Amino acid sequence: MSFTPIFILGLRDVISGGQLSTEARYLLPSYIFAQIAISYLICHQFTGSKFWKLVTITLVALGISSCIAISQATSWWNKGEGQNKYNLQVATIINQSSSPLLIASGNISNGYSFIDVILCLNHMLDPKVKLKLTVEPDFPNITSTETANKLFVYLPSVALRQHLEKDFKVESAMPVEDPWLWKLERRNPDS
């Protein structure tokens, strides 16, 4: 029972070259079964043996230390760090601005799920941050009142950047090779 998901996913990965057997969410039944089996073993071996008491204390201590480590982390290995690896840095930059407006487009060129990434980022943003979300091929129309805000673009596609570069100077807002956040400055402030 415990090895069925691992076996099925592993077999599928071998045949099609995927990586489903490395995804924690698909192995959740195996994790639960393993915990129940270990609990059952300890429960039946606990009566009188010092070794099993030590095993129990060790497992509880490891569980507590794991919970402490997880509670202090901004992201965890099973939470899709690749899709959210810069979100804390992006949120920090945006939150430091006085009146920020974040523009994001539904067509993300790197293949990440737009909704998942934006929801994760939105959770970290201050309430003062305004969002302007679009779905390409529609591009955002930035009004003159919105240009009074500090303007940012999150994960812009090539098409969106080209559209914005007509009226704005688009610069990276992050000191990384592949920035996820760009800042906008109007080329002609009088228009």
What stretches of 46-113 show up as alpha helix (H) in DSSP?
50-72, 81-84, 87-95
Distant-in-sequence, close-in-space partners of 86: CB < 8 Å, separation ≥ 6:
174, 176, 179, 180, 181
Report domain extents, the chain: 4-72, 81-186
User: Between 185 and 126, where is the model more confident?
Assistant: 126
Q: What is the token pair recorded at 122?
A: 């939105």
Tens digit of pLDDT for each residue in 112-121? 566 777 888 8
Q: Could you tell me if 30 and 3 are in contact, meaning their C-beta atoms sit under 8 angstroms apart?
A: yes
Tens digit of pLDDT for each residue in 4-44? 777 788 888 888 887 777 777 788 888 888 889 888 888 88
State residue 25 phi and psi, 5-degree precision.
-65, -30
Identify any residues that bridge with 103 across adjacent strands, giving them in sequence order: 132, 153
Q: Could you tell me if 156 and 183 are in contact, meaning their C-beta atoms sit under 8 angstroms apart?
A: no
Tens digit of pLDDT for each residue in 133-146? 887 777 877 777 77
| Cα–Cα distance, 180 to 40 (Å, whole number) | 48
State yes or no: pLDDT of 65 exceeds 90. Answer: yes
Question: What pLDDT is attached to residue 147?
Answer: 66
| Cα–Cα distance, 101 to 148 (Å, whole number) | 9
Q: What is the token pair recorded at 109?
A: 């060129």
pTM here is: 0.61
Q: Which residue in 79, 67, 3 sits closest to 34, CA to CA?
A: 3
